Each structure stands twice: as C-alpha cells, then as structure tokens.
A and B are shown apart, each in its own frame.
Chain A
C-alpha cells in the first residue's frame, strides 16, 4: 500500500488551504476531489467577498480559488481530480475511486474537507422540473452560462438566498419574490439591499405551499405562517414563475467522519450533526482532522483559516513544524478567525463553539472516569 504524509479529501477552500499550509513544512501532500474542477464552492462565487485583506476580502470567490490552486501547485501539492473517496478505515486508510479502479492509500494524517450538501424542503409539486437548489442555479448561470429560468421565486433569505438572487438578476432572470419562513432576513443587510433596490419584494414569515404546473413549474403559491410556522388560511399569494430556487440551508457532509468512527455532536448552530473537534480541527480519531463546512457550516473565508489550522496541526503531529514557530503561527491563525467571527453575525458560530467545548470536556471526563 502506498503511504503519504497527509491525504486531504476535498479541494475546496478548506482542503486547498490545509494542503498549502502543510506542504510549506515539507509534508508530502495529496488532495483528492471527486469533481472534475477543483475549488469546491469557490468556482461559482462571482461576487466579491467580505472580510479583511488577510481574508482576501474584495476578491471575487472564483479568483480566490484560482489563487489557492496556483499556491498549492507552487508548494508541491498533488491535486487529483475525478477521485472520489468512498472509505476511511482506521481513520487513516483512504479508499479512493480513480477511473475504473479502487485504490487504498495509507496516510500519517488525513483532513476531511468535503464541504456540505444543500437542504431541500418537500412541498406538493416539488419534483416538477423547475424546482432547483440555489447551488444548481449558480452552477448553471455562473459556470455554464445558462439562465435557469425567466421568472423565479427564491425560497430562503439567508446569505445564499440573497447572493444567488442577485446573481440570477445579473443572469437576466426576473426575481418575482424572495420568501423566508423566518421573520427576519438572515443574510447581510447590504446583500439584501442590492436585491431590494432593483424592485424585488421580500415576504418574511412566509412559506411555499405548492408548485403548480403541467409537467413543469408554471406558478408557485406562498402563504404567511403563524408562530408555529403553520400556514395562515386566506393569506395565499400565487406568482407566475417557471423556476423555484431553494436556498434553505446546508448540512455538513459527515459520511466519512462517521465511517471513521469520530465522536459526533449535534449542534444546530453548525448545521446539525458534526464531528466533535478541537479548535485545530482534530477529531476523536488520532491523526484525523476536519476543516471547513464538513465540520460546521460557515464561510469560505473561515474555511481557509480552519484548513490552515488543520494543515498546521497535521504537520506538528508528525514533527515537521518546529514548535515555537508553529505555536505562534497557530496563534496568528486563531486571531484571524476570531476577527471574522466577531459581531452579531458571528454569534451563531461563537455559541456553537462554546457548546462544542462543553461536549469535549464531558467526553474527556467520561474517558477518565
């Protein structure tokens, strides 16, 4: 069996950053991604990112992806595309499908950076052609130059909903309405404002009742919801749309961490079930790390830092990183992450981290008892 210092699963911002960081310390690193294109979510992000210069703010996401790839190349990282990891044994034996072959490779450390999958909401008519995820809408418009539809209803007003709605306007769609069951827009006000000033109405405290149409979406009916999120009769509104775009949250991709036997915790603030991790991404399985959305839904900016922390930890574990310098590098990365997680929008993550910390303490207490 071949052996590598570090195997990274997923070539999104988290995985590429972990690879770059670890390779700098001299580790032999390979990154597997099932996709034909590297970069994860970044290649669909045509908008400028927030943050500070250290977080590559004001760069457009796809360009950050290109930069990461170039950096990985310069650092000597091997990126293997079309390589789906289907198994993780003893935490450190990686089973990967390449073409018509299955290979097993042993690693001294593994970083899971597999990202997340989109949530769906079922409603009558949700299987009609024309009901799509926000990620699919983005892939069609921004990667393939195909407009998903002409008249669109966006379900979900978090950052994904408002960002994708704007991109659909840029692609030439008419966005007929934005709805969300919550009473307040979850995305940044500035993102919502650039959609609103084009004349798109927002309906908060509303849900989708059904999609209507003969063989494809022709209209959608929404209604207001009460305190228990039940539709209020008499408040229905119908929009003539051919596309219903769902942006109702993401769920961390945990198949591999569960298979490896990581201790899991359920933290709604991070998107549901996630592996219990220390701040550097270390899971309960020695040598196995998680970074980015696979360990809790956040942002690309933070995924890049979390990736670097995991890469650094994997290097230190194998004695590659001189401890004093590595210590201060770790400190610097943590501070950068804290700067991103400040303010009211970081509250969700800060609270979930607190709960994660408590869960780990409990776990440690159980083990010593």
Chain B
C-alpha cells in the first residue's frame, strides 16, 4: 500500500487494486455496482447494515474492511448515503463511451440535471468536463445526497468529485 492516504489524504489506484470492496473490471461493465474506498481498519459497519441484498460484509469484527460480493450488488446506492465516511461510490460502465459515477454529496445547493461541471479526481485535480445525470436527496438518505455524473469511460475509476463552473 502506498503512503499517499497518510500523507496527502487520498488513495491511489494501486491502493485499491487488491482492496476487498472493489469490483472487477468485468463486473463494472455489466452495470451499476458499488465501490468501497475504505481500506483502513476502522470501527464501522453501516454499509453492511444498509444493504438488503447481502452484497457487502464487514462481519462481527467491526474493524474489518468491507468486502463486496459484486454478484449480489444491484448498485441501488443505499450504502452510499449510509456510509459516515462518504467512501462508497457507484460506478456504471455499461453506458457506451461514458461511465456513470455516483457520489455522496453534502453541499448545497445540489447541481441541476444536465449541468456541465468539472470532474475532479481523488486529489481534487481537474480531469475535465462532466455532465450531471441525476441529483437525488430522499428523506431516507438523511441529507447525504447522491449525485450521478457522466464522464468519459476512461475516468470511471478516477472521477470522484466535481466542482461547479463559476457562474
């Protein structure tokens, strides 16, 4: 594992390569699936509690890391809003040359559907333009909204946040 999370505050692709909560490239092509970017042993398991499809498991030792059972995951996103670390994303690579990335969002106002924003990677660097496909805030989400953006396919495992363009 790299030191990047400890020194810069973000994960590198190599840190996620063997993480138990990351779906395979094949699975991502089949449709929406959750990615658990949670690789430290912290005392936490709301993702497991939120999932009614038995697709993510932490187990009785709550410091164990979340493990994804990608076959069971429908990409419903319940775990995204439940996660207190905002560490769960939904990626869908079944949309042709675009990927849909859904992220937890706790800022107001929410972006509008169709709005063009700047996609950011885990370090906050600008990747380029993205299009907001959906903004969703249900009561059950307890104020952790879910924003879905469409990005070029090759950014599907990089784009994790966005910045709104200056008006």
Q: Cβ of A223: which chain B residues have Cβ within 8 Å of it? A: none
Residues A343 and B45 in contact in the complex (CB < 8 Å), given A193-B87, A197-B124: no
Residues A188 and B49 in contact in the complex (CB < 8 Å), given A183-B7, A197-B120, A346-B63: no
Residues A58 and B82 in contact in the complex (CB < 8 Å), given A48-B144, A198-B161: yes
A345 touches B42 (CB 8 A): yes
Choose the segment among A49-57, A138-146, A212-220, A277-285 that binds chain B (4+ C-beta atoms closer than 8 Å): A49-57
| Bound CA–CA A187/B3 (angstroms) | 14
B124 touches A346 (CB 8 A): no
Looking at the complex, which one of B49, B82, B124 makes contact with A198 (CB distance below 8 Å)? B124
Q: Cβ of A342: which chain B residues have Cβ within 8 Å of it? A: 41, 43, 61-63
A196 touches B10 (CB 8 A): yes
Number of A-B contacts (CB under 8 A): 145
Q: Cβ of B46: which chain A residues have Cβ within 8 Å of it? A: 48, 52-53, 57-58
Interface mask (B95-131 → A, CB under 8 Å = 1, otherwise 0): 0000000000011000000000000111111000000
B37 in the interface (beta carbon within 8 A) = yes
Q: Cβ of B37: which chain A residues have Cβ within 8 Å of it? A: 190, 193
Give residues of chain B (9-53) contacting chain A, Cβ–Cβ below 8 Å: 9-11, 37-46, 49-50
| Bound CA–CA A204/B6 (angstroms) | 9
Chain B interface, >50% SS class: loop
| Bound CA–CA A192/B86 (angstroms) | 10
| Bound CA–CA A204/B5 (angstroms) | 11
By a beta-carbon cutoff of 8 Å, the part of chain B in contact with chain A is: 3, 5-11, 37-46, 49-50, 61-63, 82-87, 106-107, 120-125, 142-144, 160-161, 163
CB distance from A183 to the nearest CB of B (A): 7
How many positions in chain A have a CB within 8 Å of any CB in the partner chain?
44
Q: Cβ of A341: which chain B residues have Cβ within 8 Å of it? A: 43
Considering only CB atoms, which chain A residue lies closest to B106 in the complex? A170
Considering only CB atoms, which chain A residue lies closest to B126 in the complex? A199
30 CB-based A-B contacts, threshold 8 Å: A47-B84, A48-B83, A50-B43, A51-B62, A57-B49, A58-B84, A60-B142, A60-B143, A183-B6, A184-B6, A189-B38, A189-B40, A190-B42, A193-B9, A193-B122, A194-B85, A194-B86, A196-B8, A196-B9, A197-B123, A198-B161, A198-B163, A202-B9, A204-B7, A339-B61, A340-B62, A342-B43, A342-B61, A342-B63, A345-B43
